[in-house]
Amino acid sequence: MRRGLHMKLVLIMVLLILSLMTVVGAFLMNSVTGYYINDFYGQIASAFGQDNADFLRDLESPTEGETDAAAMVDEVLSAYVGVLGVDGRNRNYFVLDGTTGRYLAGSAEEPEGGLAITPNISAALLGEVGFESDVAADYMDAAIPIHRGGESYVVYILDNRATVRSLNSAMFTLILEALVVGLAISILLSFLLSKTMVTPLQRLTDGLQEVAAGDFSKKLEVTSRDEIGQLTESFNSMARQLESTIAAVRNERNKLDTLFLHMADGVVAFDREGKVIHSNPAAGRMLRRSFGPEDRYEDLFGDLFSLEQVEQVDGHLSGEREVAGRSLELLLAPFARGEEGGVLVLIHDVTEQRSAERMRKDFVANVSHELRTPLTNIRSYAETLEEGLGDLPPETARTFLGVILNESDRMTHIVQDLLTLSRFDSGRSELHLTRFSFGQAVEDTYRAVLMDAQKHAHSVRLEMPGQLPQVLADHERVMQVMMNIVSNAIKYTPDGGTIVISAGQGPGTAWMQVDDNGIGIPDSDRDRIFERFYRVDKARSRQSGGTGLGLSIAKEIVDLHQGRLYLVDKDGPGLTIRMELPVDGPAPEGGRP
């Protein structure tokens, strides 16, 4: 760029000087020639004019007895050479014959080949003053006819313009010299200009190239207050602006990248051709695969909607898919509909949501079912009683009333359990924490069920070390849990079974475990044992007065204490269930007490 602009500057300067010199030179030389011609004719006109009447009279008045008139005229003229400007070299006068134009006398010899008959001589020979100037000719002349002694003569003044020519050539040389000096100055000036203009421009260009390459740290020094200085300032502020804009964009991008990386939902982005341009780890985890640019939208989600369908949609489209036992909800939406746009697929794991929905539906169905059964019983017994009023033997009537009372007790039981669960769900259930002996609680439970166990001919054993810690817990609720798991063991063990109640302590915990050798639970049901209304054998449970809510309430209570209630894996028949409680009670929010 430096060379380009510099050459242009030199060229402009040279052309400027050349054209200036040519115009000035032509004008000067023309003026000098014009001045010289005008001066010549002015001099001749004033010599022969009215103001110089003596001269014309001397020329035309013959002296007495003169023999050679031409010589006399020559003599008069030679006396007036100063007035005529005749120098005998470049300007001469000649006396010509008035009829033939022949040379008679003059300040110079007749030129070889005679004088040329110019238009002015021709005019004078016809008796008129020849005073026409011919700019194109290389001479100036004037021919004045005179009469002397009855003869006519022509006084002819001829100037060969040598003076003006030499003047012009001297001027030409001068202009040429001025041109050379002018050119030298112009080249020097263009160097100076290039230094003051091109160098800052070059620095600006270098800076721009660095900015274009992504380096915004460069700050150009402002060296002048002119337009280039302003340009440099604008450049600096533009670079600063760009730098902060790009930093903001980069920051946003980093935020988005981090968000993508850590968000629980999966995201896969496709370009307009359907190629994967971005995917986050969650997407890979959820769809159980990895993504690369070779993966195509059509192969991954084409079964739900075509790429065109998603691109056309306002808002988003949604679909579902099951992958490895998980329910995934897919939201497909177009982004930036322009050239650079594409399609985003958001993957959301809704397994928990779906199972909660299923459990809620099951729960409502179960509640209805559980309440309807006793109600139906109550109604049918009441109807029978009403129909046979008076006819029924009192024994039977009493039995029927007993069933009605039993069933309503059962309903009350279910409703109470449901209320307890609902209190847990709404978080309204508070624990009344007290310190009590865990060992004592286990022993109380053992004693409470002993009678019942004996009824079923079970052998119940209590295995407990002498010393067990005090626990901080809700005594009544913990007893409820203990009773529930021990009663279950009695209920679900065929008569004559063996039940072992054991207790002990671990680091910071106290535990109680109930082993039986009863019917146990099939492997497929083990995970669901704590679900509400879940019962392996509905008929058996109902028969024994169970509602299917006992273990779920027990689990809620233990969870509230931040303990654990779980089935212990074991070989052989029966079931082992274990409860662990933190000795110091549940930790308040933010840490343990």
Q: Which is nearer to ligand ADP, 148 or 532 (CB)?
A: 532
Among 228, 529, 557, 565, binds ligand ADP (CB under 6 A): 529
* Angle subtended at Cα 20 by Cα 19 and Cα 23, rounded to the nearest 5 degrees: 80
Q: How far apart are CA 539 and CA 521, in angstroms?
A: 15
- Give least dist CB 535 to ligand ADP, A: 3
Per DSSP, the three-state class of 255 is helix
Count of CB atoms situated within 10 Å of the CB of 423: 13
Nearest distance from C-beta of residue 514 to ligand ADP, angstroms:
7
Q: Which is nearer to ligand ADP, 207 or 497 (CB)?
A: 497
Under rule CB under 6 A, residue 521 binds ligand ADP:
yes
| Residue 133 to residue 1: CA distance in whole angstroms | 57
Element at 63 (helix H, strand E): none
Min CB(483)–ligand ADP separation in Å = 10
Taking the least distance from each CB to ligand ADP, the nearer of 78 and 373 is: 373
Nearest to ligand ADP of 159, 516 (CB atom)? 516
Q: State both tokens at 151.
A: 């003869």
CB of 354 to ligand ADP, least distance (A): 23
Check binding of 516 to ligand ADP (CB under 6 A): yes
Q: Choose between 43 and 484: whose C-beta lies nearer to ligand ADP.
A: 484
What's the min distance (Å) between Cβ of 525 and ligand ADP?
8
Minimum Å gap between C-beta 482 and ligand ADP is: 13
| 3-class DSSP state of 490 | helix
Question: How many CB atoms are closer than 10 A to CB 584?
Answer: 17
Question: With respect to ligand ADP, which residue has the nearer C-beta, 250 or 461?
Answer: 461
Residues 336-355 that bind ligand ADP (CB under 6 A): none
Total number of residues binding ligand ADP (CB under 6 A)?
23
Instruction: Pick between residue 509 and residue 517 the one whose CB is nearest to ligand ADP.
Output: 517
Taking contact as CB under 6 A, which single stretch among the options 21-29, 284-292, 313-321, 518-526 is the one that binds ligand ADP? 518-526
Cα–Cα distances in angstroms (integers) from residue 522 to residues 546, 572, 575, in the given order:
19, 12, 10
List the alpha helices (DSSP H) in 426-474.
438-455
Do 445 and 479 contact (CB within 8 A), yes or no?
yes
Site string for ligand ADP, 426-465 (x = CB under 6 A): ----------------------------------------
Q: Which is nearer to ligand ADP, 130 or 550 (CB)?
A: 550
Report the nearest approach of ligand ADP to the CB of residue 542 (Å): 8
Instruction: For the CB of residue 495, give the shortest distance to ligand ADP in the complex, in Å.
Output: 14
* Residue 330 vs 554, nearer CB to ligand ADP: 554
Interface with ligand ADP in residues 530-559 (CB under 6 A): 534-537, 541, 546-552
CA distances in angstroms from 111 to 106, 361, 375, 589, listed in the order given? 11, 143, 163, 138
Shorter beta-carbon distance to ligand ADP: residue 266 or 497: 497
Long-range contacts for 542-551 (Cβ within 8 Å, ≥24 apart)? 542/373, 544/491, 545/410, 545/413, 546/491, 547/370, 547/410, 547/413, 547/414, 547/417, 548/366, 548/370, 549/414, 549/417, 549/418, 549/421, 550/417, 550/484, 550/487, 550/488, 551/484, 551/485, 551/488
Q: How many Å separate Cα 339 from the centre of its chain?
A: 15
Which residue's Cβ has the minimum distance to ligand ADP?
546
Smallest separation (angstroms) from ligand ADP to the CB of 534:
6
Distance CA 195, CA 304 (A): 68
Pairing outcome for strands 498-506 and 459-463: parallel
Q: Considering the rule CB under 6 A, would residue 48 count as an interface residue with ligand ADP? A: no
CA distances from 524 to 528, 532, 558 (A): 8, 17, 24
| CA gap 256, 344 in Å, rounded | 14
Contact set for ligand ADP, span 463-492 (CB under 6 A): 484, 488-489, 492
Shortest CB 285 distance to ligand ADP, Å? 34
Judged by beta carbon, residue 68 or residue 409, the one nearer ligand ADP is: 409
Q: Alpha-carbon distance 95 to 321, whole Å?
A: 132
CB of 569 to ligand ADP, least distance (A): 14
Nearest approach in angstroms of CB 367 to ligand ADP is 14
Spatial distance between the Cα atoms of 197 and 165, rounded to a whole number of angstroms: 45
Residue 518 or 563 having the CB closest to ligand ADP: 518
Q: Which residues of this protein are in contact with ligand ADP, per CB under 6 A?
A: 484, 488-489, 492, 516, 518-521, 529, 534-537, 541, 546-552, 575
